[in-house]
């Protein structure tokens, strides 16, 4: 199944899309990677979803990626005696460690790490920022606040801390149990929520031991401040605009999105743009014009993937949402302005053999007008460096490792094919030509560029580039 676009589509599974039939339809409509949200899926449901995705993958013969999104720490206030209270601007309201039901003056905050970390002047945002408090005094057991915006608070509403860095890590006990469970099912990507610092990846990396790639969700100001360090330690990045828009001024989010996508591309790490991309299609068969523009901007920006959340998980039009996103992406990538915009953002190559070969492959492909760039990649590194160049020539990634092909399904431009490892250089070139023809990217008389590492089966040693002519038998003519 050949996609007619380079940006990938990531769709969340949920009540509206959990059957094998719906998963198949979503994939056929354009989904490249499926997201399982562990905030709403228990281990039994997760296992069932993985099995259904793998069944569809086997039936269609195409590698499909799976991303398990860990919930992360959920910070909430306690309960009120009447379920909710109305507050007044400027009044004093206290968050404390007293488990008694709350009233108009106070409520429990059952998170000692917050009570210990918040300082005078820090903001506390309740219920996605609908209520804004500012700390005026604290003694590690009480946080005395002034109400600066909003007027209502009710049971178990979430707490966001835009100014506070917590001492605890990003993994909760639930996350650790979920991580063990998803790794046992061989998911391809694990998304880490509410990353604050580079150190937050260390525990997950130690547990994963290379069994899955780690994607860091950037959704807190503290993560934005240390963005380059987090990117360096991550396998991919997500622009989680929902929580970013709670903890940062809404008007700052578009600029941060561009900063994150460009920083990730410079590093050669996949970047996903997520949250409310086609939100109105939860209940409507068509999106708003503003949503279409929002999706288009992410594609023009060179994002590796764009994501659907509730639109595909719980909406009334999951298939239509994927199909709409697919059509928007195709139209943008056919825009005559698109290559110039992508080229203007192209980062300088790093002084490595892999980057030198990838740069040369892109330049030669565009100069000679070859049919495809075919790259051999066992670990995915060669594919990632090739995609970093954003060539306008199609990229075919050949790998003998199914897990690698599945992981690369998140990466811009990658058409992944699982194939047996080449026996020697001639076999490698013949195999590249034959697969390029079989997959519909090339035909007899055309040329392809082949990149790989020699000696073969040497991870991270991309050092070979070859131009191959395709003969009448579909194999290399030279």
The span from the CA of 194 to the CA of 141, in Å, is 24
Q: Do 313 and 12 meet the contact criterion of CB atoms below 8 Å apart?
A: yes
**Residue 472 main-chain phi, psi, to 5 deg:** -65, -20
Which candidate in 47, 54, 74, 76 is catalytic? 76
Which candidate in 31, 94, 138, 275 is catalytic? 275
Which candidate in 106, 157, 217, 406 is catalytic? 217
Q: Confirm whether 275 is a catalytic residue.
A: yes
Which candidate in 35, 265, 388, 447 is catalytic? 35
Q: Confirm whether 35 is a catalytic residue.
A: yes
Q: Confirm whether 76 is a catalytic residue.
A: yes
Check whether the bond before 139 is cis (ω within 30° of 0): no
**232: Cα separation from own chain's centroid:** 15
Q: Confirm whether 217 is a catalytic residue.
A: yes
In which residue are the tokens 């720490």 written? 73
**108: which 2 tokens?**
């429990």
Residues serving a catalytic function are 35, 76, 217, 275
């Amino acid at each position: 199944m050949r996609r007619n676009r380079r940006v990938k589509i990531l769709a969340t599974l949920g009540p509206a899309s959990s059957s094998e039939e719906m998963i198949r339809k979503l994939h056929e409509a354009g989904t490249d990677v499926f997201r399982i949200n562990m905030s709403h899926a228990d281990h039994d449901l997760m296992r069932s979803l993985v099995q259904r995705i793998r069944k569809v993958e086997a039936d269609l013969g195409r590698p499909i990626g799976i991303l398990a999104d860990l919930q992360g720490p959920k910070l909430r206030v306690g309960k009120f005696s009447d379920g909710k209270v109305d507050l007044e601007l400027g009044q004093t309201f206290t968050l404390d460690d007293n488990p008694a039901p709350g009233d108009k003056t106070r409520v429990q905050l059952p998170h000692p790490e917050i009570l210990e970390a918040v300082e005078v002047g820090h903001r506390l945002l309740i219920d996605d920022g609908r209520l804004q408090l500012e700390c005026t005094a604290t003694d590690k057991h009480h946080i005395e606040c002034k109400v600066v915006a909003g007027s209502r608070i009710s049971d178990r509403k979430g707490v966001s801390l835009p100014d506070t860095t917590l001492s605890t890590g990003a993994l909760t006990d639930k996350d650790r149990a979920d991580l063990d469970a998803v790794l046992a099912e061989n998911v391809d990507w694990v998304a880490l929520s509410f990353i604050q610092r580079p150190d937050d990846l260390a525990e997950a990396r130690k547990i994963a031991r290379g069994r899955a790639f780690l994607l860091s969700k950037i959704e807190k100001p503290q993560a934005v401040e240390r963005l380059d360090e987090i990117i360096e330690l991550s396998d991919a990045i997500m622009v989680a605009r929902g929580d970013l828009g709670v903890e940062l001024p809404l008007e700052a989010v578009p600029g941060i999105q561009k900063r994150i996508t460009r920083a990730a591309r410079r590093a050669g790490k996949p970047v996903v743009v997520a949250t409310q991309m086609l939100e109105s299609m939860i209940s409507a068969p068509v999106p708003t014009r503003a949503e279409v523009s929002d999706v288009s901007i992410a594609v023009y920006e060179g994002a590796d993937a764009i994501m659907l959340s509730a639109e595909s998980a719980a909406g009334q039009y999951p298939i239509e949402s994927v199909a709409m996103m697919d059509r928007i992406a195709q139209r943008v990538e056919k825009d005559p302005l698109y290559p110039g915009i992508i080229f203007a953002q192209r980062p300088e190559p790093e002084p490595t053999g892999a980057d030198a070969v990838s740069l040369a492959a892109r330049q030669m492909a565009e100069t000679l007008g070859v049919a495809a760039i075919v790259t051999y990649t066992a670990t995915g590194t060669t594919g990632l460096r090739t995609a970093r160049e954003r060539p306008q020539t199609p990229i075919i990634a050949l790998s003998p490792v199914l897990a690698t092909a599945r992981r690369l399904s998140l990466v811009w431009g990658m058409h992944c094919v699982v194939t047996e490892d080449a026996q020697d250089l001639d076999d490698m070139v013949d195999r590249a030509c034959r697969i390029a023809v079989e997959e519909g990217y090339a035909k007899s008389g055309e040329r392809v560029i082949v990149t790989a590492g020699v000696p073969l089966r040497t991870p991270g040693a991309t050092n070979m580039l070859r131009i191959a002519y395709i003969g009448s038998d579909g194999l290399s003519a030279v």
